[in-house]
A and B are shown apart, each in its own frame.
Chain A
Amino acid sequence: MWLWNKIKQLAISFRAGVVTLRYPFEPRTAPEGFRGQPVWDHTKCIGCAGCASHCPARTIFLRDICQEVRILLYDSSRCTYCGRCADLCPEKAITMSDRFELATDNRQDITQSIELFMMTCQRCGRCYDLEIKNYIDRLSSLGYRYDCLEARKVIRRSTTEFSQEELEKTVAYERPGRLEK
Chain B
Amino acid sequence: MSRGEELVRWLEKELGGNLISAETVFPGRLFIDLKREALSAAAAALMNRGARYQVGVGYDARKSGQGFGLVHTFAFDKDSLLVALRTFAPEDDPEFDSLTPLIPGAGWSEREYQDLLGLKFKNHPNPRRLVLSDDWPEGIYPLRREVPHDLMPPAAEEVAFRLEEAPPGTSIVPFGPFHASLHEPAHFSVYVDGEDIKGCEYRGFMTHRGIEKLAQTELTYNDVPFVAERICGICGSVHSVNYAQAVEAAAGLRVPRRAEFIRTVALELERLHSHLLWLGVAGHLIGFDTVFMQAWRIREKIMWLAERLTGNRKTYGMVIIGGVRRDINRDRSEDIRAVLREVEREMLALEKAILKDRTIHKRTRGVGHLSREEAVKWNLIGPVARARGVDIDARRDHPYAAYDEVQFEVPLADSGDVWGTLVVRVKEVYQAIKIINQCLDKLEKLPKNEPLSVDLEGPIPASRQGLSLVEAPRGEAVHYVLTGEENRPERWRVRAPTYPNLQAVPSMLLNNKLADFPIIVGSIDPCISCTDRVLVVERRSGKARLLSRQELENLSRGKRSGR
Contacts and interface: CB of A to CB of B under 8 A. Distances in A.
Contacts of B222: 54, 145
A34 interface: yes
A13 B296 CA distance: 12
Interface in B202-234: 218-224, 226-227, 230
A33 to B, nearest CB: 5
Nearest to B312: A35
A163 B267 CA distance: 45
**Most A CB atoms within 10 A — which of B304, B357, B458?**
B357
B180 interface: no
B151 interface: no
A16 B294 contact: yes
B315 A82 contact: yes
Interface residues of B, number: 41
Interface stretch (B94-102, B345-353, B535-543): B345-353
Contacts of A96: 311
Contacts of B455: 143, 145
Interface string B309-331: 00110010100000001100000
Nearest to B356: A5
A151 B455 CA distance: 17
A19 B231 CA distance: 30
A148 B353 CA distance: 57
B325 A13 contact: no
B157 to A, nearest CB: 33
Interface string A121-159: 000000000000000000000010101111100000000
B317 A83 contact: yes
Interface string B353-397: 110111000000000000000000000000000000000000000
B356 to A, nearest CB: 6
A35 B311 contact: yes
**Most B CB atoms within 10 A — which of A16, A54, A84, A147?**
A147
A117 interface: no
A176 interface: no
A151 B223 CA distance: 12
A6 B226 CA distance: 44
A34 B312 contact: yes
A9 B294 CA distance: 9
Given A13-B294, A19-B297, A32-B308, A8 B315 contact: no
B307 A31 contact: yes
Nearest to B288: A9
A58 B218 CA distance: 10
Given A35-B311, A56-B219, A147-B460, A5 B350 contact: no
Interface string A92-106: 000010000000000
A61 interface: no
B459 interface: yes
Contacts of A149: 487
A54 B458 contact: no
A147 B459 contact: yes
Interface in B42-84: none
In which size bucket is the chain A interface?
A: 35 or more
Contacts of B220: 148, 150-151
A172 interface: no
Contacts of B338: none
B426 to A, nearest CB: 15
B487 A147 contact: yes
Contacts of B409: none
B410 interface: no
Contacts of B226: 56-57, 80, 82, 84
Interface in B444-473: 453, 455-456, 458-460
B454 to A, nearest CB: 10
B293 interface: yes
B308 A31 contact: yes
A2 B219 CA distance: 56
Contacts of A35: 311-312, 317
B486 interface: yes
Contacts of A56: 219, 223-224, 226-227
B312 A2 contact: no
A34 B315 CA distance: 12
A14 B350 CA distance: 13
A81 B290 CA distance: 35
Given A33-B311, A80-B315, A82-B317, A145 B456 contact: yes
A5 B354 contact: yes
Contacts of A13: 290, 293-294
A149 B488 CA distance: 12
B364 to A, nearest CB: 15
A75 interface: no
Closest 4 CB pairs of A and B: A35-B311, A8-B353, A56-B223, A56-B226
